[in-house]
Amino acid sequence: MSRSISRWLGCACVTATIGCLSSHAAVTTASPTVRVRFVAHGDSFKAAASEYERLWAAEGARIVQAMERVSGLRFVSSNYADTAIVAQVLERASNSGYRDTPMELRASYPFDTRRATLIHELGHRLQAGLFRREEEEHGPLFLWIYDVWVELYGREFADAQVTVERRRGGRYPAAWDAAMALNAAERSTRWKALLAERSPTRR
Ligand SMILES: [Zn+2]
């Protein structure tokens, strides 16, 4: 794992394990525009991978539509289509991966946190073209994923998942404090201003 790639991964995971995909069971599901292949990182995570698979099969299309609508970004952009994502399911902090580097998703999350975290990590990938590798991008991410969570699952769900993410510590509490200090219109305005001032740097 090169440093440049590991730096680019969202969230708390330090390293992504790649190169072991062929030896583990894989399941593939599809939404109209984004396929996510959930790969159990060993037999003990097969059940969790299957549950992620069912989640994506049932809700993936809605998730993609809501994320694209709220963010104004597209998984298929002019020079890259992030539409064939591998997500390893294992027991460690989740991270987004980037392009061909797999996403990693914690196996033990409760169902709602699986939903929220999958959207969080997909959000990193969706907005990746706006940021340089060294930039901390949770502040911008939280300007729009809360509103995706609300649109899909309601405010009670969204608030509960903010609480879950705050408990993780690190960069999350301050970034969520900043986003939650704004109302939905203010978050949208700030996000659109950020979109307007940045041309894609990586796509
Ligand atoms: Zn993150």
16 in any annotated domain: yes
Exposure string over 68-86, b if 16+ CB within 10 A, otherwise e: bebbebebeeeeeebeebb
20 in any annotated domain: yes
184 in any annotated domain: yes
Ligand 1 centroid to residue 5 C-alpha, Å: 15
Mean pLDDT, residues 48-68 taken together: 97
Ion ligand 1 neighbours (CB, 5 A) are 10-11
Ligand 1 centroid to residue 134 C-alpha, Å: 14
Residue 99, Cβ density class (10 Å: 0-12 exposed, 13-18 middle, ≥19 buried) = middle
Q: Would you state the pLDDT for residue 78?
A: 77
Ligand 1 centroid to residue 26 C-alpha, Å: 24
Ligand 1 centroid to residue 178 C-alpha, Å: 15
Q: Would you state the pLDDT for residue 55?
A: 98
36 in any annotated domain: yes
Report the distance separating Cα 74 and Cα 52, nearest Å.
22
Is pLDDT at 4 greater than 90 in this prediction? no
- Min mean pLDDT across 16-25, 51-60, 63-72 is at 16-25
- Min mean pLDDT across 26-30, 77-81, 116-120, 161-165 is at 26-30
Ligand 1 centroid to residue 171 C-alpha, Å: 9
Ligand 1 centroid to residue 147 C-alpha, Å: 16
54 in any annotated domain: yes
Domain with residue 87: its CATH number is: 1.10.390
What global pTM score does this model have? Answer: 0.84
Sheet containing 103-106: which strands, arranged edge to edge?
26-30, 35-40, 84-90, 103-106
Place of tokens 């998984």: 75
Give pLDDT tens digits for 118-169.
Answer: 999 999 999 998 998 889 999 999 999 999 999 999 999 999 999 999 999 9
130 in any annotated domain: yes
Is pLDDT at 15 greater than 60 in this prediction? no
Is pLDDT at 7 greater than 70 in this prediction? no
Ligand 1 centroid to residue 41 C-alpha, Å: 21
Ligand 1 centroid to residue 25 C-alpha, Å: 26
202 in any annotated domain: no
26 in any annotated domain: yes
If one counts the domains in the chain, the total is: 1
Which domain range does residue 66 map to?
3-197
